[in-house]
Amino acid sequence: MRPCRTALIYSPLFGNFNYGDDHPFKLQRNRFAHDLMDAYGLLKLPNMQIRDCRPASDEQLLSFHDPAYLARLKEFSVSEEPRADFRFGLGDADCPVFKGLYDYAALGAGATFEAVRLVEEEGFDAAFNMNGGWHHAHRAKASGFSYLNDAVIAINWLVARGRRVLYLDIDAHHGDGVQEAYYDTDQVMTISIHESGIYFYPGTGFENEIGEGRGKGYSVNVPLLAHTDDAIYMKAFDEVAYPLIAAFNPDIIVTQIGSDTFRTDPLTNLEITTHSYCTMLSKIKQLKIPWVALGGGGYDLMNTARAWTLAWAIMNNVELNPRLPPAFIDMIAPLGFHNRVLLDAPHWADEEERSPALAAVEKSISRIKKTIFPGILGSYGATSS
């Protein structure tokens, strides 16, 4: 059996940009994740490579984005003055305009393209771009901290090469921009498990959003209520996502692995831990489908560093010490972080709060099995459990 080949896409330029001191999205998290991987020895494994990247080209970006929108992004990116164009979603609290904005967004998109290219053309088993996963970017509008939809740009390239792609989104927010891009095609299946849009951004991602035309049945959403814990989340994954991935049997799986589902994330209301997060990723790994992972959300910096270090270890079949390395503890302590452990204990939400969440996910699963499973599992010769 040949060893697993993996690639981490990482550019030192990722840290050169800033959404603003008061913005919840901190690019510092990439550096923390990189440093924690390094402290565990995960950046010098025998069958892995660290690859740099270059910004996505205009041709790549135009495979999805509107030319007028890209032109405005470029214009604002070089401006010395604060700018706003709400028609394109630019300049509000979520998507601020800052010097070098276009360079930052294009570099992240280029990193995702490189991850996909390495898996497609160079035979890597898995590739990881921490600075990717901007699933809220629309064709002509920035949204939800996202300016360019790197996943769509990269998947479009794969589709043009005749590949069938499964996009799995486990971020706390619905992957609305990616769903929108593939709502009418059966060549890409999108599965998003997220906090419910009834009360949570972006207000989409309900069970009845199943695609249209040739794409009917290929958009799958599992909305979750607040206080969804490890066991409830794994129920959604095991009963919906996993059998559909196996049935669709894609050439490549692209996952957005945001860590804002964790119970201590300041912007969300789910209650999962490293326990279910690692279980999900391990099951994806076991499918042995060429795999590209993208960072996505995560607004507790140490949660994000721990999650993505664990993800990278899983991609490389490495088991880590559950205690953080002393060198990393010494580095983060002066910054006010008091974390000492890599892994969380499995979490069970308060019974009064989890009961509605469990009832809601059971209702969603039942509906999906009635509307999605007969067509998808039947088409590919599988049966539901």
Kindly report, residue by residue over 257-298, the tens digit of the pLDDT.
999 999 999 999 999 999 999 999 999 999 999 999 999 999
Q: What angle do CA 315, 316, 317 make, to 5 degrees?
A: 100
For residues 51-58, average pLDDT: 96
Alpha-carbon span 22 to 78, nearest angstrom? 22
SS (H, E, C) 45-62: CCCEEEECCCCCCHHHHC
pTM > 0.75: yes or no: yes
The reported pLDDT for the residue numbered 243 is: 97
The residues near 323 (Cβ < 8 Å, ≥ 6 apart) are 340, 341, 342
Share of the chain above pLDDT 90, in %: 93
The reported pLDDT for the residue numbered 12 is: 85
Residue 136 is among the residues annotated as catalytic for this protein: yes
3-state SS, residue 291: strand
The reported pLDDT for the residue numbered 303 is: 96
For residues 182-200, average pLDDT: 98
Alpha-carbon span 223 to 272, nearest angstrom? 15
Q: Which residues, listed in sequence order, are joined to residue 50 by a DSSP beta bridge?
A: 8
Residue 383 banded pLDDT, cuts 50, 70, 90: very low
For residues 46-51, average pLDDT: 96
pLDDT in tens, 338-378: 999 999 999 999 999 999 999 999 999 999 999 999 988 87
Which CATH architecture fits 6-379?
A: 3-Layer(aba) Sandwich (3.40)
Question: Which two structure tokens, joined as six digits, stand for 251?
Answer: 């050439």
For residues 90-102, average pLDDT: 94
Q: Residues 138-169, buried b or exposed e (16+ Cβ, 10 A)?
A: bebbbbbbbbbbbbbbbbbbbbeeebebbbbb
Our separate counts of H helices and E strands in the chain read 13, 8
For residues 177-203, average pLDDT: 98
pLDDT in tens, 58-75: 999 999 999 999 999 999
The reported pLDDT for the residue numbered 379 is: 73
Catalytic residue among 34, 65, 135, 136: 136
- What does the CA dihedral 356, 362, 364, 367 come to, rounded to 10 degrees? -140
Res. 128: pLDDT tops 80: yes
The reported pLDDT for the residue numbered 1 is: 61
The residues spanned by each domain of the chain are: 6-379
